[in-house]
């Protein structure tokens, strides 16, 4: 199929598409203001805005379904968190000491979508300690099962610090972000819980040879 595109800034327009783009931009600005993260993170906030809207927005082809259902034929069953919200995730690193708590603070950045528009319960998280110290700003992929969300209202460390700097008249680029300690949340050991062994003696493994087939017949 070869689409017939219209000229920019000329009639006719795709009013529905333009409205969707405008809503996505407005949603992106809103979540940026709430999270407090700088403009450079729009590469994460814009996909977050588009996906979060598709989870709830009715489809044009079938109003009884959402955009996500129309594309994937299934309702979205993943976790729903705010952009820039404080979470704790299980961090696996060669520098992690053995007896340290197994959960590190992070900021939720959205969901990872794999080829074929598939969501396999993997989310994107920004390591809060690295962002706080200025040592890193890249997101890591974490399974949902290794995410812990504190109870209560969502916490936005960067957004709260920017709001406090605005009230006090401080430089918003020189934020004093609060420190969050590591948290020790129990997780099952690697591989999960082992299933109980079958009671009784185990049968001895035997090799199938020509002599055994002639003597006992085919199995």
Answer yes or no: is 110 within a domain: yes
Answer yes or no: is 32 within a domain: yes
Answer yes or no: is 38 within a domain: yes
Task: HSE, CB side, 13 Å, CA atoms: give it for residue 95.
Answer: 0
Burial category of 125 from C-beta neighbours within 10 Å (exposed 0-12, middle 13-18, buried 19 and up) = buried
Answer yes or no: is 205 within a domain: no
Answer yes or no: is 213 within a domain: no
Instruction: Provide the 8-state DSSP code for 12.
Output: S
pLDDT at 192: 47
Distance CA 190, CA 203 (A): 29
When divided into structural domains, the chain yields a total of 1
Answer yes or no: is 93 within a domain: yes
pLDDT at 191: 43
Answer yes or no: is 5 within a domain: no
Name the 3-class secondary structure at 134: coil
pLDDT at 197: 47
pLDDT at 193: 47
pLDDT at 172: 64
Cα distances from 29 to residues 123, 137, 143, 213, in angstroms, run 21, 20, 27, 75
**What are the tokens at 116?**
């074929």
Answer yes or no: is 137 within a domain: yes
Question: Which pTM does this prediction carry?
Answer: 0.73
86-90, strands of its sheet edge to edge: 139-143, 118-127, 103-114, 86-90, 147-148
pLDDT at 204: 63
Distance CA 120, CA 178 (A): 32
Residues listed for the chain: 219
Distance CA 178, CA 1 (A): 54
Widest distance between CA atoms in the chain:
94
Give the residue numbers spanning the domain of 114: 15-183
What is the pLDDT tens value at each position of the chain, 219 positions in all?
576 777 777 777 777 778 888 888 999 999 988 988 888 888 999 999 999 999 998 988 888 999 899 888 888 999 999 999 999 998 776 666 666 677 889 999 999 999 888 899 999 999 888 888 876 677 899 999 889 998 889 999 888 888 877 777 777 666 777 777 777 665 554 444 444 445 555 566 667 777 777 777 766
125 DSSP β-pair partners: 108, 140
């Amino acid at each position: 199929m070869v689409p017939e595109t219209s000229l920019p800034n000329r009639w006719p327009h795709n009013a529905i598409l333009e409205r969707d783009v405008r809503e996505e931009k407005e949603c992106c600005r809103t979540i940026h203001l709430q999270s407090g993260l700088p403009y450079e993170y729009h590469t994460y906030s814009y996909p977050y805005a588009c996906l979060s809207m598709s989870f709830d927005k009715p489809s044009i082809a079938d109003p009884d379904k959402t955009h996500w259902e129309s594309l994937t034929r299934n309702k979205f069953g993943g976790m729903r968190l705010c952009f820039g919200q404080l979470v704790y995730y299980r961090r696996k690193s060669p520098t992690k000491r053995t007896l340290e708590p197994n959960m590190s603070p992070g900021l939720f950045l959205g969901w990872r979508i794999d080829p074929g528009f598939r969501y396999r319960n993997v989310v994107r998280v920004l390591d809060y300690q690295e962002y706080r110290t200025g040592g890193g700003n890249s997101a890591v992929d974490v399974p949902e099962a290794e995410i812990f969300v504190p109870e209560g209202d969502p916490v936005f460390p960067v957004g709260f610090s920017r709001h406090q700097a605005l009230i006090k008249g401080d430089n918003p680029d020189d934020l004093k972000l609060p420190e969050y300690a590591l948290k020790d949340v129990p997780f099952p050991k690697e591989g999960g819980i082992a299933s109980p062994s079958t009671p009784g003696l185990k049968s001895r493994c035997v090799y199938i040879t020509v002599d055994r087939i002639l003597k006992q017949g085919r199995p």
